[in-house]
Amino acid sequence: MSKSVFIKTYGCQMNVYDSQRIGDVLAADGYTAVDGPDGADLVVLNTCHIREKAAEKVYSEVGRLKALKDARHAEGRTMIIAIAGCVGQAEGPEMMRRAPAIDLVLGPQTYHRLPALLARVEAAHAEGKPGRVLDTDFPADDKFDHLPGEATAPGPSAFLTVQEGCDKFCTFCVVPYTRGAEMSRPVAAVLAEAGRLAGLGAREITLLGQNVNAYHGARADGGSADLGELIHRVAEIDGIERIRYTTSHPRDMTASLIAAHRDVPQLMPYLHLPVQAGSDRILKAMNRSHGADDYRRIVDDLRAARPDIALSGDFIVGFPGETEADFEATLALVRDVTYAQAYSFKYSPRPGTPASVLADQVDEAEKSRRLAALQALLDSQQQAFNDATVGRRFDVLIERPGRRPGQILGRSPYNQAVHVTLDDQTMSSYHALIGTVFPVTIEAGGPNSLSGRIAAPQWTAA
Ligand code: 5AD
Ligand code: SF4
């Protein structure tokens, strides 16, 4: 009988991609995916360590799972609980000590070994032993060389990890410790995977990496390709109509990558380019290796290459030592750049990072005040960006049925969600639209999405 697995994903898009690959590894090992932990033989929590209390959230989830696990034991069956991802990597031994219900802890670099690790757990269970296994190695061999093909169709928009790890060591961030050193997949491996995804129906590919624009993948001729070159190559694949990439560091925004925004029509006019802060003093303390004006110049160059490019960013308020004047510099940068979308956070000290032991931690109430002020400004920019699209006609990649009857959901070139209203006749055959790029006239802009109608004459209501 086939075994069942429930995979729960926390955190970033790289974890979403990893969970899909974990699903592929387990499908090849005879597991069927289910949508909840109830009745599952195996539960994998693919965890994220970036925010405060990340581990606490995992422990409370394990507590809930333990009740299910105990109930299954009472019926003479088992449930294996596996912790994957960055919390597992960072706190594996501690997790094994604190939560005896956890059977297996593995990191982001060892999930290709899951079948062997599970076999060890199961063999021990069969002998009535606890059989708990920890594998948070950074193996010398590349996990990507050991992964089976994609088990399920990716949908119209697919993720593809091309780069992992980070050598930047921003002083607030845990990623260099949990994901390890920067590494890039070879060009041929990326192109082969992109080709398979296109064959399975993907029309849009988002190239992923913690520092995706630091990509330098080996080419067959012995040289290495940067991200600009890789984008050109992916754009040549039949069926790939849209390309995106995330997340980028300003320092690696090379001339070749900026030129790709001008030269590759499939590269969408949207870029997530975190700056974190607008004060040079704080950027230096964060070890960001660029100043605020360097960032402004990069944005100017991007806009010269692709005038309609929409920008998104990440911001941290209340980094240790941040004064009111420093914070004002962040607001000034936001006003200068103008964002279509953004994420902003209160600084939170992460154990093991250099900034966590700095004197001069900013008071919580002050952090909250600054965050509210920054978010008000970013929200108003996002609303203005969305409002400015009303009356325009965009190509929208249709991804899936919408939440409301009579609607389907897609994305604009600028990465906005677009709710498309269809007439009854079109709705009855909406399946034909999924995975196609259609012109849509935008009728309204909300804070987080747009709505509109198909603009092609053959699809308009009679
Ligand atoms: N405190 C607050 N925000 C953080 N981020 C990363 N580490 C921290 C931290 N210690 C934010 C950064 C990063 C995003 C993914 O998470 O803005 O770009
Ligand atoms: Fe973290 Fe900085 Fe690396 Fe981004 S560039 S993952 S913020 S250390």
Strand-pairing partners, residue 394, are 440
Mind listing the pLDDT tens digit for each residue in 261-294? Answer: 999 999 999 999 999 999 999 999 999 999 999 9
Mind listing the pLDDT tens digit for each residue in 236-257? Answer: 999 999 999 999 999 999 999 9
In the structure, what pLDDT confidence band is assigned to residue 51 with cuts at 50, 70 and 90? Answer: confident
| Ligand 2 pocket residue status of 306, Cβ below 6 Å | no
Q: Which residues contact 155 (CB under 8 A, 6 or more apart)?
A: 201, 202, 399, 400, 435
Which domains, ranges and CATH numbers included, belong to the chain? 3-135 (3.40.50.12160), 153-268 (3.30.750.210), 393-454 (2.40.50.140)
| Ligand 2 pocket residue status of 173, Cβ below 6 Å | yes
| Ligand 2 pocket residue status of 176, Cβ below 6 Å | yes
| Ligand 1 pocket residue status of 68, Cβ below 6 Å | no
Q: 10 Å Cβ neighbour count for 363?
A: 9
Substitution candidate for ligand 1 out of 86, 173, 350 with most atoms within 8 A of CB: 173
Mind listing the pLDDT tens digit for each residue in 62-105? Answer: 999 999 999 998 888 889 999 999 999 989 999 999 999 999 99
Residue 374 CA to ligand 1 centre (angstroms)? 15
Amino acid (1-letter code) at residue 447? P
Which of helix, strand or coil describes residue 76?
A: coil
| Ligand 2 pocket residue status of 316, Cβ below 6 Å | no
CA-based angle 145:146:152, to the nearest 5?
Answer: 105
Instruction: Quote the CA–CA distance of 207 and 106 in Å, as a whole number.
Output: 24
Instruction: Quote the CA–CA distance of 92 and 427 in Å, as a whole number.
Output: 49
Residue 405 CA to ligand 1 centre (angstroms)? 38
Residue 81 CA to ligand 1 centre (angstroms)? 28
Which H/E stretch holds residue 443? strand 437-445
Mind listing the pLDDT tens digit for each residue in 393-441? Answer: 999 999 999 888 889 999 999 999 999 998 877 777 778 889 999 999 9
Give the residue-averaged pLDDT of 27-53.
92
| Ligand 1 pocket residue status of 50, Cβ below 6 Å | yes
Which residue has the CA at smallest separation from atom 7 of ligand 1?
173
User: Starting from the edge strand earliest in sequence, which strands make up the sheet with 341-346, in order?
Assistant: 270-272, 310-317, 341-346
Please, is 33 exposed, middle or buried when counting C-beta atoms within 10 Å of its C-beta (0-12, 13-18, 19+)? Answer: middle
Q: 10 Å Cβ neighbour count for 12?
A: 18
Which residue has the CA at smallest separation from atom 1 of ligand 2?
173
Measured between alpha carbons, how far is residue 355 from residues 349, 359, 367 in Å? 7, 9, 16
Which of helix, strand or coil describes residue 244?
A: strand
